[in-house]
Amino acid sequence: MDDPTNGGGGAMWLTAVAVMLTIAVVTRRRERKSSNRAAATGRAAAPPELRGAALLWCALSALRDGPLEAFRRQHAKLGSVFTASLPGLVKLTFLVGPEASRYFYLAPETEISHGRIYEFTIPLFGRGVGYDVDLATRSEQTRFYLDALHARKVRASIAAMVEEVEDYFSRWGEAGVVDLKHEMEHALLLISSRCLLGREVRESMVDEVCTLFRDLADGLQFISLFLPYLPTPAHRRRDRARVRLTELFTKVIRSRKSSGAPTSAAEDDDMLQRLINSRYKDGRATTEAEVAALLLAVVFAGKHTSYITSTWTGIHLLSDSDPTHLAAAIDEQDQLTARHHGARVDYANVVQEMTTLHRCIKETVRLHPASPALARRVRKNLAVRTKEGDEYVIPEGHTVMSTVLVNHHLHHIYKNPHVYDPPGRFGPGREEDNLAGAFSYLGFSAGRHVCLGETFAYTQIKVLWSHLLKNFDLKMVSPFPKTKLSTMVAEPKGKVMVSYRRRRQGHA
């Protein structure tokens, strides 16, 4: 198994820190003027610093023993809040563990915000949404997403998800070998097209949209984080893809608007209609450009994260390391089919009952969080109290980081944290995701910027794996993969080959 403290997973974490360091350096330069005002820290001291030779030693030990081990040592030595400092360049303050994390997730936007860290999303999604608009407008757009991705509306999409999954896997033969990554990406993109982008896209332009989304994703590279407008070939393809996607979506939006008021059935059917129907507090309707950009952003936020999680879930279940988890997941599907009498399960009712599968996905996200660390900017001196009882003030201008992957491996919360243990870990009596309060588990973020698509993500991945487990005998053919280092979301390296054979007792 890919142990996140070493090899691929470890390097992934280092990559994440490197990315954040770079962002921090760049935003630090941009915001040097404001950070000059950040000297006064009141009576409490700034957090302990890791600098000079100690910082270098820490980096070397991270390479030698794995970053989690290096972090554990610093955590033991300096406590749960400490700053890595490259004088004159960057101050990166880590908030380790649930107690320190609460400041990161709960502090108001006036104290902690994304700052200019997410500016690279503007050329991805276009103007007028997200990090291109002021906070008040962004909050209203977040409300549109919240409404559109409400659990009740996700539930209304389940039948469409099932249809897409059944249709997609009906193309598999009696037996064969496939690349799981490719299959997950395609099946989930069809679900997104149908449930988010709408039937017009799904029926007549899905292949083009699929290619364009790939160009958009490929345009998000390490360099894009600090020079998003640099005219590289990948950025040019990204820009062309965004323009074309916006054109396609605008055509659909216009045609829907001109065909009269939407029926409630259409509104239940996809996110596009829900965004068209959204209104700002002053009564203003969303514009075509806003709807197109909001759609782009939400599909982008959910696409890669869901496909990677779905793939890692399959890898953990189908690899030989512990066959009991696969057996338990299949058993759950068989029992649900039997309990619901038969051939065709009404998924809208039973997705909620797939506790084992749910925990398998949750445990996957613990070990392979889409974002191994999250970054924000301190806008106003921030007072924090650590688990150890120390009080510090993190000065304005620092970049703060929530160490998601490290938190997910804290021994006082997670028993044998490197082991994939879905039923035990989250089951009654252990419930480790809540053991130290709300910030013990951060796979979908928390607080102000919690993932708005969590229900949608779980639902589509459960629908997909439920179908596969019920209808196919599956086995990993390739070895357990390492984590790919060069991508923004921690994906498995190389192809993930899986053999399948149709189950005779399966129910399509």
**Phi/psi of residue 51, nearest 5 degrees:** -150, 170
Cβ-Cβ contacts under 8 Å for 57 (sequence gap 6 or more): none
Give me the residue whose beta carbon is nearest to ligand HEM: 453
Q: Which is nearer to ligand HEM, 319 or 445 (CB)?
A: 445
Side-chain half-sphere of 228: how many Cα atoms within 13 Å? Answer: 18
Task: Measure the CA–CA gap between 487 and 489, rounded to whole angstroms.
Answer: 5
Q: What is the DSSP letter of 195?
A: I
Closest by CA to 157, choosing from 192, 183, 189, 187, is 192
Q: Which of 73, 449, 484, 501 binds ligand HEM (CB under 6 A)?
A: 449
Torsion of the alpha carbons at 54, 56, 60 and 66, rounded to the nearest 10: 70
Minimum distance of ligand HEM from residue 188's CB (angstroms): 9
Q: Which is nearer to ligand HEM, 169 or 456 (CB)?
A: 456
**Residues 308 to 337 in contact with ligand HEM, rule: CB under 6 A:** 309
What six digits make up the tokens of 171?
């193309």
Q: Which is nearer to ligand HEM, 184 or 301 (CB)?
A: 301
Q: Are 351 and 463 in contact (CB under 8 A)?
A: yes
Q: Which of 453, 463, 467, 471 binds ligand HEM (CB under 6 A)?
A: 453
Does residue 457 belong to the site contacting ligand HEM (CB under 6 A)? yes
Q: Which of 94, 168, 456, 500 binds ligand HEM (CB under 6 A)?
A: 456
Minimum distance of ligand HEM from residue 450's CB (angstroms): 7
Q: Which is nearer to ligand HEM, 441 or 444 (CB)?
A: 444
Does residue 434 belong to the site contacting ligand HEM (CB under 6 A)? no
Minimum distance of ligand HEM from residue 261's CB (angstroms): 25
Total site size for ligand HEM, rule CB under 6 A: 22
DSSP 444-460: T--GGG--TTHHHHHHH
Stretch of 15-23, 385-393, 407-415, 437-445 lying at the interface with ligand HEM (CB under 6 A): 437-445
Minimum distance of ligand HEM from residue 250's CB (angstroms): 21
Q: From residue 368 to residue 407, what is the string marking binding to ligand HEM with x (rule CB under 6 A)?
A: --xx--x---------------------------------
Rounded to the nearest 10 degrees, the angle between the axes of helix 135-148 and helix 288-318 is 60
Q: Which of 14, 401, 452, 476 binds ligand HEM (CB under 6 A)?
A: 452
Minimum distance of ligand HEM from residue 365's CB (angstroms): 5
Distances (CA, A) of 392 to 41, 48, 62, 112: 9, 9, 26, 15
Please, which residues bridge with residue 392 across strands?
45, 384
Residue spans of beta strands (DSSP E) within 105-216: 112-113, 175-179
Does residue 296 belong to the site contacting ligand HEM (CB under 6 A)? no
Q: Which of 319, 445, 466, 471 binds ligand HEM (CB under 6 A)?
A: 445
Q: Which of 66, 115, 443, 492 binds ligand HEM (CB under 6 A)?
A: 443
Side-chain half-sphere of 506: how many Cα atoms within 13 Å? Answer: 20
Stretch of 166-174, 207-215, 296-304, 382-390 lying at the interface with ligand HEM (CB under 6 A): 296-304
Does residue 116 belong to the site contacting ligand HEM (CB under 6 A)? no
**Residues 44 to 83 in contact with ligand HEM, rule: CB under 6 A:** none
Q: What is the DSSP letter of 88?
A: T
Q: Which of 145, 226, 249, 441 binds ligand HEM (CB under 6 A)?
A: 145
Stretch of 178-186, 197-205, 225-233, 300-308 lying at the interface with ligand HEM (CB under 6 A): 300-308
**Phi/psi of residue 145, nearest 5 degrees:** -65, -45
Owner of token pair 């997941």: 329
Owner of token pair 């190389």: 494
Quickly count helices (H) and strands (E) in the chain.
22, 11
Owner of token pair 């276009």: 126
Q: Are 400 and 115 in contact (CB under 8 A)?
A: no
Closest by CA to 488, choosing from 369, 403, 407, 371, is 371
**Residues 149 to 168 in contact with ligand HEM, rule: CB under 6 A:** 149
Does residue 115 belong to the site contacting ligand HEM (CB under 6 A)? no
Q: Which of 41, 137, 142, 499 binds ligand HEM (CB under 6 A)?
A: 142
Minimum distance of ligand HEM from residue 173's CB (angstroms): 29
What six digits make up the tokens of 460?
């589509």
Q: Which of 298, 326, 330, 382 binds ligand HEM (CB under 6 A)?
A: 298
Does residue 301 belong to the site contacting ligand HEM (CB under 6 A)? yes
Does residue 502 belong to the site contacting ligand HEM (CB under 6 A)? no
Q: Which is nearer to ligand HEM, 35 or 113 (CB)?
A: 113
- 68: helix, coil or strand? helix
Q: Are 194 and 214 in contact (CB under 8 A)?
A: no
Helix H or strand E segment including 50: strand 49-51
Q: Are 82 and 49 in contact (CB under 8 A)?
A: yes
Minimum distance of ligand HEM from residue 271's CB (angstroms): 8
Q: Which is nearer to ligand HEM, 357 or 452 (CB)?
A: 452
Which residues in this chain contact ligand HEM in the complex, by CB under 6 A?
A: 142, 145, 149, 298, 301-302, 305-306, 309, 365, 370-371, 374, 443-445, 449, 451-453, 456-457
